[in-house]
Chains A and B, each alone.
Chain A
């Protein structure tokens, strides 16, 4: 690991001024960044520790929740308001990593964690356009069981590894930012970028910007929601496919439905096509399958991950069935 300066920010203003230096990075729990630094994939000149900034979960005037970026993943997952009003978020967090890592990882750091593509991590032996633009992508013709089926490019097929972000995308969460040029807010579904020709640019964050909070709005679909993660072992593994979904049925028809997929793209994948098929319809298994088919019709798989298309469809149908009160 290359040497670096370490500074602890007392508040967000101090954080912004400390991060002014070139090649500074904000530090949350460090569960991903410290590892990347040890692998010499990231080599910041300075770390600005923002994990000590006020970390609270507060009710908003609109009846939603404002979750501070420094709040630990385990605190969000076990918070009574999250468990009852946004169960998909609680379940998604509990599906991620291990208890030890959830105790360390912050909300902001979870959003900004980087792909676990093995070729991205193999700095010595593999080509990766994220690490070195123009080098090539060894995942495309390599072992790509864990890679994306939506939004890929000829330059990168990596996935975003977060479970939490999949739930946040389904919940229409908003990311609050402060930066050298002022404050702004970005919807979660627009926060991460697809790889295109610049896979090294993974989010819409501008230099020096800091995530301060996540805002959730209340909804019946959020209160009746679930998260299911399919993986190679039953715990402590990244998703092959995951589904976050919420369902609000009124008078026998679907009033509101939210579906997002994990493990399939460089960002949490909001299943807008599936939602369109379902809105206003009578909820049943055939309709759920039709919606899943519509969403996955745009999927493009590779040699090692063709199974993900059918797996995603079945998982969507199963989760919607569970929310509809039927056997999954």
Chain B
């Protein structure tokens, strides 16, 4: 068995201690995913595994065996065009230093799917009904697992809002 990253199969590392994050960065040269706190507190290492956003620092690479991993390197189209959310981040200054950005973008892409499914969040008033649209309060709560030390959160929320414009989420 192997691990599929952005559509390409890779063998698993021999050492079980290797995290998914270290596999990406140190062994495969996929350095877009960032190492922040390495303890599940900052979200910089967020990747998408089988459609769900997870923290690659707390995932052992072996736990991702047979799964499909999508990282920031896998978002642009084959001819190099950026993902709509990557454009929106640039447009709305959703970053300063850029270190948290790959995690923010991977997190937000999976978050939008959660909203489309109607998953509630802690701030959703009616749990049974689900969220009433992608309000700023909903976006902020759902993105709370991704910290930005530069304080670009307002731009990040605006970028996500732009991507959702016109959608009856």
Q: Is B15 an interface residue (CB 8 A)?
A: yes
At the interface, yes or no: A5 with Cβ under 8 Å from chain B? Answer: yes
Contact B54 A104 (CB under 8 A): yes
CA distance A150 to B41 in the complex (A): 28
Judge whether B63 and A90 touch: CB under 8 Å: no
A94 vs B16: C-alpha distance when bound (angstroms) = 31
**B-contacting 9-mer, from A14-22, A31-39, A307-315:** A31-39
Q: Which residues of B contact A25 (CB under 8 A)?
A: none
Beta-carbon contact of B39 and A104 below 8 Å: no
Judging by beta carbons under 8 Å apart, are B142 and A99 in contact?
yes
- 0/1 string, A31-50, CB within 8 A of B gives 1: 10011001000000001010
B90 is an interface residue with CB less than 8 A from chain A: no
Contacts of A91 in B (CB 8 A): 122, 127
Are B58 and A35 touching (Cβ within 8 A)? yes
Query: What are the residues of chain B within 8 A of A83 when measuring CB–CB?
Result: 120, 127-128
C-beta contact mask, A75-102 vs B, less than 8 Å → 1, else 0?
A: 0011010011001001100110111110
Establish whether residues A236 and B144, one from each chain, have CB atoms under 8 Å apart when the complex forms: yes
Q: Which of B39, B114, B140 contacts A99 (CB 8 A)?
A: B114
Residues of A within 8 A of B60 (CB): 6, 30, 34
- B19, B55, B59, B110 pick with most chain A CB within 10 angstroms: B55
Q: How far is the CA of A33 from the CA of B70 in the complex (A)?
A: 24
CA–CA, A5 and B17, complex, Å: 9
Whether A99 touches B111, Cβ cut-off 8 Å, given contacts A3-B16, A38-B39, is yes
Task: Name the A residues within 8 Å of B124 (CB-CB).
Answer: 94
B62 CB within 8 Å of chain A? yes
User: Are B114 and A31 within 8 A (Cβ)?
Assistant: no
Given contacts A4-B17, A100-B107, A236-B144, 16 further A-B contacts (CB under 8 A): A5-B16, A27-B63, A30-B63, A31-B55, A34-B58, A47-B16, A49-B63, A94-B120, A95-B122, A98-B145, A99-B110, A99-B145, A101-B40, A104-B54, A104-B58, A229-B122
Residue ID in chain B nearest A72 by CB atoms: B52
Rounded to whole Å, the gap between the CB of A165 and the closest CB of chain B is 17
Cβ 8 A contact of A78, one of B40, B63, B119, B142: B119
Chain B residues contacting A236 (CB-CB under 8 Å) are 144-145
Which of A29, A30, A98 has a CB less than 8 Å from the CB of B144?
A98
Is B55 within 8 A of A101, CB to CB?
A: yes
Residues in chain B near residue A104, CB distance under 8 A:
54-55, 58-59
Q: Quick check: is A74 within 8 A (CB to CB) of the other chain?
A: yes
A83 to B127, CA, bound (A): 6
* Residues of chain B lying within 8 A (CB to CB) of residue A95: 122
Specify which of A77, A84, A103 is in contact with B128 (CB 8 Å cutoff). A84
Tell me if B94 counts as interface (CB < 8 A to partner A): no
A51 within 8 Å of B (CB atoms): yes
B54's partner among A1, A3, A6, A103 (CB-CB below 8 A) is A103
A235, CB-defined interface residue at 8 Å: yes
Closest to A85 in B: B128
> Is B120 in contact with A100, judged by CB distance below 8 angstroms?
no
Q: Are A98 and B43 in contact (CB under 8 A)?
A: yes
Whether the pair A6, B127 counts as a contact (CB closer than 8 A) is: no
> Is there an interface contact between B120 and A103, defined as CB atoms closer than 8 Å?
no
Which of B62, B119, B121, B127 counts the most A-chain CB atoms under 10 A from its CB?
B127
* B17 & A100 in contact (Cβ 8 Å cutoff): no
Provide the residues of chain B in CB contact with A31, threshold 8 Å: 40, 55, 58
For residue A27, which residues in chain B have a CB less than 8 angstroms away from its CB?
63
Chain A residue numbers with a CB within 8 Å of B55 are: 31, 100-101, 104
**Shortest CB distance B45–A (Å):** 9
B141 sits at the interface (CB 8 A): yes
Distance of A5 Cα from B120 Cα, bound (Å) = 38
Closest CB-CB distance, B150 to chain A, in whole Å?
Answer: 18
Q: Hey, which chain B residues are within 8 Å of A101, CB to CB?
A: 40, 55, 58, 145
Question: Smallest Cβ distance from B82 to chain A, in angstroms?
Answer: 23
Shortest Cβ distance from B47 into A: residue: A100
Find chain A residues with CB under 8 A from B16 CB.
Answer: 3-6, 47
Cα(A31)–Cα(B60), bound, Å: 10
- Give residues of chain A (143-200) contacting chain B, Cβ–Cβ below 8 Å: none
Q: Are B59 and A90 in contact (CB under 8 A)?
A: no
**B121: chain A residues within 8 A (beta carbon):** 94
CA gap between A234 and B128 in the complex, in Å:
22
Asked if A97 and B145 sit within 8 Å, CB to CB, the answer is yes
| A94-B59 contact given A1-B17, A6-B16, A235-B141, CB 8 Å threshold | no
